Structures are given as C-alpha cells and as structure tokens.
Amino acid sequence: MLSLSKRVVQHAQIRLSSVSEISSTALIELALNLTNSLTANDRFERLLSTVRQAVPCDAVVLLHVQGDYLKPLALQGLTKETLGRRFEIAAHGRFEQICKSTTPLRFAADSPLADPYDGLLLAHEGDLPVHACMGLPLLSDNKLIGVLTLDSMVPNVFDDIPNRTLDIIAAMSAATLKTAMMLQQLEQHSKHNQQVVAELTHEALIKDGGELIGESASMRKLKQEIEMVAASNFSILIEGETGVGKELVARTLHRQSSRRDGPLVYVNCAALPENLIESELFGHVKGAFTGAERTRTGKFHLASGGTIFLDEIGELPLAAQSKLLRVLQNQEIQVVGKDDVEYVDVRIVAATNRQLRDEVEQGRFRADLYHRLSVYPVAVPPLRQREGDISLLCGYFIESTRRKLGMTQLTLVKNAIKVLSDYDWPGNVRELEHVISRAALRAKSDSHSPIVRIGLTHLALMLPKDKALNGGEPLQADNAYKDAAQADINLKMQTDDFQRQLILQHLSEQNGNWSATAARLQVDRANLNRLAKRLGIRVSKRIEVKPE
C-alpha cells in the first residue's frame, strides 16, 4: 500500500471531491472539441485531453479492438513505447473483464488482477501498481469496438463519479472512435475491404510481425508508396538490406491489393535446388524426369488469381531467369514434361538484398528481367534511417516476447531506448527482435519480481561497448552497466560462438543442406557459405562400406 503524507492525503481528498460531480459544461466542451477536430489523431488527442480535464487522472489510454488484441491508438501519461504494444485480451485479466462488460468498470485498489500498465506510468517509477483503475467499454451498435482506460495513483479517486457521467463519456469516446473507423472505411472505398484487411492483419499478428510499425519520415513514405502502388497490377521489386522486413512489405502489398482474396504464395529462390527450379515454379507431369513419381503443381499455378512473392530473386541462375521472363511478358508457363503452354493470372512481387542494377552490369542478372520486375521499385529503409521508430518497435517486440515467455509484465529501463537508438543495427529490425528476445531471457533469469525489466546490462552483452557512449561521454546508467562496459568482454568471440552454434544446429536439422539452412536462417546462401568458412564450418560427406 502506498504511504501518503498528510499533504498528499489532503490533495487526494480535493481530487476526490472535484470528480464526484462533473459539470455538464465539461461534457459539452468535450463534444465541441471533438466536432472541431479534423484528423483521427487530432480527435483522439482532444478526447484524451478533455477526459483528463473532466476526470483528473495520471494516465488515460484509448485502445481499439482488433480481434483478440487491443491496439493503443492514443495515450497520455504512459511511456511512448506502449503505443507499439498489442495487448492480448485473454492474457490480461482487467482488459478481459472490461471487454466483457457493457458498463464502466472500476477495479478495487487491492484487486488481485495485474495491471497491464504496471511499470509504464510516467508519473511514477518503481514496481508499485497503479492504485485506482477504471475501464470504459466503447460500444457501437452493441458491439465492442474499443476501450478507454483511466489510471490514478490516488486510491478510490474514481469511486464517486456518477455512472451517468461515465456513460456519457463512454458514448462520446465510442462515437469518436466509430467516426475515425468510418472515415478510414471510406478512404478504402468499401466496408468489405476494411473487414478483409482487419482479418488479414489479425492473422498476421498471430504469426507475429504482421504490421508495419513506425512513424518516422522514411516509414511514412514507404506506407504511402505501398498504398499507392498496391491498387495497381504492376510487378514490384522490393529492395533493402537483410532484416528490414521485405516479406512483411510483400504481405502488406498483397492484402491492400485487389487480389487480397486470392492466395499469396511465398518462394525462397535461394533455397531452390538448381536442377528443380522449373519444377518448383511451373510444375511437372508424372515421369517428366527421374524421380518424378507423380504430377506436381507449380507455385505459379497455386498463385493464380493472387500474388507470388519471389524472395531473394537475385539468387536465380541465368537459365531460370529466362523462363521467368516468359511469365512476366505473356503470363504463360510451360509445365515440365508438357509441350503446350498454360496461362496464369499472377501478380509478381520480388525482393532482393542485392543491388540488381550492379548485378546486371556485371552480367549476373538479365537486364530485360530486371526492367520487367522493377516496374515500380520499393525501397525499404534500414533501421538506422528510421529515427524515432526504435521505441515503437521495442514495445511491439517486448509485448510479443512477454506473451511467448508467459511473463506478467516486461518493460525496459529508462536509458535502454537511448542505448538501442545509438546502435547502427546492421541486421536491422530482425536483429532488434532477436536482441529483445535474448535480453528478455536474461532479464527474466535475473528478476524475482512479476515486473521484469530489461536493463542495460542485459543489452550490453549484445551491443558493441562503444555504442553505449554518447559523443564520447558515458550515458547515465546504473552501476551494473558501467561495470559491464568496463569488463573485458570479447564481443566478437561471443558473437562468433553464437553464430557457429546456430549454423551447426540448423545444418544438423537440415542434414547438411546449405540451401535449406540458409532458408531457415533467412540469409543469402552465398553469405552463409562465406560466414561458415570464416567460422571453420564445413560439411563432409563420405561413403562407408560395411564389412560382410
């Protein structure tokens, strides 16, 4: 229980009396503010500001229901990384009760249910839970569309607010959210399209990594380009470094296109055996070649009516490139073992981490295929160029990791975002996800509290020590981190050992198949071979004759 001085008690009593009766003037002001707002973000911010004026509180959050998850749309009083989180309703008792209710719900100060915002409140540091909590389900046509939560460090501060007042605030908040949703539906031209996008987004979120998260200038430009080109039927070439999220961009393009009801077929060109590329892409008939024991449908047939995503397109050999060119030119394929051609209706989206223009100049990639693929090139920015996106991505990955590890709460210490933002991230978003996952495991093993905090020491083991410096001056960090920065840690040796063990593990699982291993690790096969050679890894095959 939080001990309060007499002065704090008096302040709490004043706040309790001030919110026991909220004037109609405040509610009218709320309605007028909302009607004067132009954009959804503006409406949300005005909504939260006016709610805090009417009901004094330390934090207020507007969340949108997306399937089994709650997505924060706007907040005041909580850390910014909270916006990147996606709260699984069933995993949070308070959210679950609010979503099942049809009326505003107050939680007792001693409620045994963990507060999902523990450790995230800006006005309070430490592990103490928020003492007063209230949730308003936002309903439209008797359907839950969102949730408005209010939290205060003053116990029982919400108890005397008339239910009628809360019903009015909930109705206005629901109307605000509903208006924003309807405007979004109109922008996408139909309610049906919006429902399909929501469903696909939900399915992708279950698989993790289903949403383009980021509000930096480069990410806003990328989202605008995707929205603009998705409606066309152009072939798209997605370019970007390893780990930037090219597959996610391809999925987003597909679900925003007119082909969203059709299939999206993924093909990793780097993992295709050279002698079976035509069979994999175009199919074969039974007996077409040795080992063809049955007729096989090719990837282009499977993608007919939808989109085929050719990842690592730069790894295709020249012979296969000429076959692919025929599909792009005439939308026709020739099944291995058949003389006649067949027509398919497929949109091609390709991706590469190579500079294909340079590959063309060096004769490793066909110029005509390159120009056919890159009708509209889309460049995915590296993480180091996405200023301000680290905190949102951290919130997303932290919440995902928390669910996977079954934690009550997982968060970052104060200076962690600064350390992460100063790092160059050669592995981009995928590297950030792995760093957060590993740091969470370390933090969990060090913690004896339900609120697990990822500290600078947990990140220092994975980031270069010089990245913990800001202009040559150490960050204001805890003593443990300073000790770790001064310790004699051979980062390169630890990194090599980790990579060596990971490659050996997957090589063993794939029976020494380098292509399959590269596909599992999501790296270029040539790069994997070079890395393995440097690490002293090689696959040795031998023939043994057993004695009779």
As a whole number of angstroms, the distance between CA 441 and CA 518 comes to: 25
Tell me the per-residue pLDDT of 161-172, one tens digit each, with 9 for 90 and over. 888 888 888 888
- Give the pLDDT confidence score for residue 325 in this predicted structure: 86
Question: Using an 8 Å Cβ cutoff, are 356 and 401 in contact?
Answer: no
- Give the pLDDT confidence score for residue 286 in this predicted structure: 81
- Give the pLDDT confidence score for residue 516 in this predicted structure: 85
What one-character-per-residue DSSP string does 214-259 give?
A: --SHHHHHHHHHHHHHHTS---EEEE--TTS-HHHHHHHHHHTSTT
pTM of structure? 0.64
As a whole number of angstroms, the distance between CA 483 and CA 458 comes to: 12
As a whole number of angstroms, the distance between CA 267 and CA 300 comes to: 10
- What is the dihedral sign for C-alpha 319, 325, 330, 331? positive
Q: Which amino acid is at 355?
A: Q
As a whole number of angstroms, the distance between CA 56 and CA 221 comes to: 38
- Give the pLDDT confidence score for residue 239 in this predicted structure: 94
Q: Which of 264, 203, 261, 186 lies closest to 66, judged by CA?
A: 203
Q: At what angle do helices 24-36 and 163-187 cross, to 10 degrees?
A: 0
- Give the pLDDT confidence score for residue 236 in this predicted structure: 93
Residues of the chain with pLDDT under 50: 1-21, 189-209, 461, 464-489, 543
- Give the pLDDT confidence score for residue 301 in this predicted structure: 84
